[in-house]
Amino acid sequence: MNDSEIFILGAKGQLGTALLQRYPGSKNADIGELDITDQKSVEAFDWSSVKVILNAAAYTNVDGAESSEGRRTAWLVNAVSPGYLQQVAVKNDITLVHISTDYVFDGVKNPHSEYEAFSPLSVYGSSKAAGDIVVGLAPKHYILRTSWVIGEGKNFVRTMLELAQNGVNPSVVNDQVGRLTFTSTLVDAIHHLLSSKSQYGTYNVSNDGEPMSWSEIAREVFKYAQLSNTVSEVTTEQYYAGKTGIAARPLQSSLDLAKIKATGFTPRNWQEDLATYVKKELA
Ligand code: NDP
C-alpha cells in the first residue's frame, strides 16, 4: 500500500493529525476541503486512485450533541455521512477504516467485547452506533472501537497539565474507569490491520495496562510531570450537579483487547505512552 492510495478525512483532528504524520504522502482533507456531510461533493470526488479511506472525521462534542442543533449535526456527521463513504467504498472497491467509541455502550459490562449489543446513553453514542452499523455494510471495512483518545488537540492530559500549571488542584471524577488511547497506538493498529490484511470487521483498540478512573489518571499525569498538585475525587453525579445539557457517560469504558492481540498487534501500556507524552508536552 502506497501513501498516495490513502485518503485521510478529518485530517486536522487529533487522530487525523497523527495519521497524516504516519502517511505524509497521502491525500487528506478536513471539513474545509471535503465536508463529508456534503453528499454531492463526496460522490463527485475522483476516488479512482484511492484504495483506503481513513475516516477520522467526526462530531466529537459529546455534550454539544445533546442540544437540538448538536443532535442534528452529530447524526449527520457520525451516522448519515459514513453512509455516503460506505457507498463510495463499495462502488470503488475501497477499504473503509472508521473509528468507533466505547460510548456506543452503557458502561455496565466489563470489559466491552466487540460482540456486545449497542446500548448508547447519549446522542453522541447513538449517532456513533448508527455509523458503525452503516460502515459495517461495506464488505471491506475496519471499525476500530476506541476510548479516551489523547493526541494533538484538546484532551484530558493537556487540560490537567494546564490546570496544574495555573496552580489548580482539580476535582476529577472517580467513577468512570477505562484506559487512555494515544493516537500513536491507534495509528499503529490501523497500519497493522491494513498491512497484515487482517480479517475485515470491528476491533477494539486502546492502550493496554491497568484500567483506572479519571482521578487516578490525573494523578499519573502529575506524577510523570513531577508536579505536586493534588486531585480531589468526585463522583460523576457530583461533578455535573446543577449543570444542564450534560450527556450521560458510560462508567466502565475498558475494552477487551483479545481480538486485536490475536492478529499479532500488541498495544503498549498506557502509562508508558503517558510518560512519553507528558515529557514531550513539557519539553
Ligand atoms: P477530533 O474532534 O479531534 O477530530 C475530528 C475532525 O473531524 C476535526 O478536525 C473536525 O473538524 C472534523 N470534522 C467535523 N465535521 C466534519 C465534516 N462534516 N467533514 C469533514 N471533517 C469534519 O476527534 P478525534 O481525533 O479525537 O476522534 C477521532 C475519532 O475517534 C472519531 O471518530 C471519534 O468519534 C473517535 N473517538 C474519539 C474519542 C476521544 O476521546 N476523542 C474516544 C473514542 C472515539 P472541526 O474541528 O472543524 O469540527
pLDDT at 1: 78
Going 30 to 33 to 36 to 37, the CA torsion angle's sign is positive
* pTM for this entry: 0.98
Which residues of 95-157 form beta strands (DSSP E)?
A: 95-101, 141-146, 149-150
Count helices and strands in the chain by DSSP H and E runs:
11, 12
**To the nearest whole percent, how much of the chain has pLDDT over 90?**
100
Distance 13 CA to ligand 1 centre (A): 5
Cβ of residue 99 lying under 6 Å from some atom of ligand 1? yes
Cβ of residue 148 lying under 6 Å from some atom of ligand 1? yes
Mutational test site, ligand 1, from 60, 143, 179, 185, max ligand atoms within 8 Å of CB: 60
User: Model confidence at 57, in pLDDT bands (50, 70, 90)?
Assistant: very high
pLDDT at 156: 97
Burial label, 39 (beta-carbon count in 10 A; 0-12, 13-18, 19+) = middle
Looking from the CA of 257 toward its CB, the CA atoms found within 13 Å total: 24
User: Model confidence at 58, in pLDDT bands (50, 70, 90)?
Assistant: very high
pLDDT at 251: 98
Catalytic residues: 124
Q: What is the mean pLDDT of the chain?
A: 97
Distance 45 CA to ligand 1 centre (A): 21
Q: Report residue 208 as a C-alpha cell.
A: 493496554
State pLDDT tens for residues 190-231: 999 999 999 999 999 999 999 999 999 999 999 999 999 999
Indicate left, alpha or beta for 226 from its phi (over 0: left) and psi (-120 to 50: alpha). Answer: left
Cβ of residue 28 lying under 6 Å from some atom of ligand 1? no
Q: Is the pLDDT of residue 138 over 90?
A: yes
Distance 190 CA to ligand 1 centre (A): 16
> Which residue's CA is the nearest one to ligand 1's atom 39?
149
Average the pLDDT over 34-46 and give the result. Answer: 97
> Which residue's CA is the nearest one to ligand 1's atom 46?
13
